[in-house]
Amino acid sequence: MKIRLDNVVKTFDTFRAVHGVSLDIESGELVALLGPSGSGKTTILRMVAGLEFADGGTIHFGDQDATDIPVRDRGVGFVFQHYALFPHMTVGENVAFGMKVSKVKRSATEIAARVDELLRLVRLEGLGNRFPNQISGGQRQRVALARALAVDPKVLLLDEPFGALDANVRRDLRRWLREIHEELGITTLFVTHDQEEALDLADRVVILDQGRIVQEGTPEQVCRTPNSAFVMNFLGDANRLPATVSNGKARVGGTELEAAGFANGRANIYLRPRDLDWSEEAPGIAATITRVIDKPDGRRILATTVDGDHVELDVVPETVARVGDSGFVRIHRARVFAEAD
């Protein structure tokens, strides 16, 4: 089912949570809404679900205008951050709930067969008689997904689905959700503030800030060509160095970078720690090491440049670096953004 948001607006009291968001989600796509807290991502998800109503704009499911259809009739599966399993029902009863209250009557044996099938899908065979407080957090979230899938939703919506789980469980569930999505092909929209999760899982990432979409694209597009300093910063660690642009070249600490199309004057250069290297000899930006952090896959060097800016570099483990060493920071790759960004 294709979902289309057209200029959707939502205001809470005086706070405008969502400013005119337009978004197309293709049938069968897995899309992440990514943004910091307060960016309006959950509000957008809840409006798609019908748990909130938009103050302006329309939401279409396929050709049908779903803007004013209440959640009960909208045919969406919603998975909550804290699972929202019914604590007084067993796992099996939780999964069966949607089928029992449905207007489409099913026989008890039919429902039982479907519950078994869904529990197999989420790999929880044999746990049907447990209560939610007798299973782990990761298992609860899988029950929540099975329960949402039981009503054959047109769209699957997940609100920070792995937010309450341990890092390890989270990584496993992420891969597993991707498999389920490939198996079932349901249009899926999920909300996260974790860029790693969004990039790992989604076909397409929609990055939000203060109720507006700032960039959308495949993980490759948003990673390789961030369109603003905000996106650059939000997707991962980034160093910022002030630079001066003249005649299409940005100049920082004696190093020149391509900056075609930028007006002469001040600009900012953003650099990923991995796009920098440490050398004891020129050329590069002269700097002094203030700290070295060792990690399993390399070393991170914290340094201060001659101009007093702090930079962080990720270098290979063999790099010789000690606190107090002077040397040069070499730039392999960088992005220039205008000062206003």
Partner 1 sequence: MTGGPSLRRKPPRVGDGAAIRRTLIASVLVVGAILVLAPLVVILHQAFSRGFAFFAEAITHPDTLHAIWLTGAAALIAVPVNTAFGVAAAWAITKFDFWGRRFLLVVIEIPFSISPIVAGVAYLFVYGLQGLFGPALDAAGIKILFALPGIVLASMFVTAPFVARELIPLMQAQGRDLEEAATSLGASGWRTFFSVTLPNIRWALLYGVVLCNARVMGEFGAVSVVSGNIRGQTNTLPLHIELLYHDYNTVGAFAAASILTVLAIVTIVAKVLLERQGAGRGGRPALASPVAPQGKSS
- Interactions with partner 1, residue window 25-64 (CB under 8 A): 49-51
Closest CA to 300 of 321, 327, 283: 321
Query: Which of 68, 82, 120, 332 touches partner 1 (CB under 8 A)?
Result: 82
Binding partner 1 by CB under 8 A: which of 10, 140, 181, 204? 140
State yes or no: residue 169 binds partner 1 (CB under 8 A): yes
To partner 1, the closest distance from the beta carbon of 86 in angstroms equals: 6
Does position 137 interact with partner 1 (CB under 8 A)? The reply is yes
Residues in region 177-206 near partner 1 by CB under 8 A: none
Task: Please state at what angle helix 137-149 crosses helix 108-121, rounded to 10 degrees.
Answer: 130
Cα-Cα end-to-end distance for the chain: 37
Pairwise CA distance, residues 30 & 225, whole Å: 21
Name which of 151 and 338 has its Cβ closer to partner 1: 151
* Binds partner 1 (CB under 8 A): choice among 15, 37, 63, 88: 88
Task: Map residues 265-304 to x or -, x wherever contact with partner 1 holds by CB under 8 A.
Answer: ----------------------------------------
Give the residue, chosen from 53, 60, 97, 223, that forms a contact with partner 1 under the rule CB under 8 A: 97
Q: Give me the phi and psi of 190, to 5 degrees please.
A: -135, 155
Beta-sheet strand order (sheet of 239-246): 255-258, 249-252, 239-246, 265-271, 335-338
What number of chain residues touch partner 1 (CB under 8 A)? Answer: 41
Nearer to partner 1, 97 or 176 (CB): 97
Q: Read out DSSP for 279-309?
A: ESSSSSEEEEEEEEEEETTEEEEEEEETTS-
CA torsion sign, 152 to 155 to 159 to 165? positive
Q: Compute the distance between CA of residue 227 and CA of residue 336 in angstroms, rounded to an integer.
A: 10
Q: Alpha-carbon distance 338 to 137, whole Å?
A: 45
**Stretch binding partner 1 (CB under 8 A), from 158-166, 216-224, 300-308, 314-322:** 158-166
78 scored as a contact of partner 1 (CB under 8 A): yes
- The answer to whether residue 134 forms part of the interface with partner 1 (CB under 8 A) is yes
Are 321 and 282 in contact, with CB atoms under 8 Å apart? no
Binding-site ranges for partner 1 (CB under 8 A): 49-51, 70-74, 76-78, 80, 82-88, 97-98, 101-103, 131, 133-134, 136-141, 147-148, 150-151, 164-166, 169
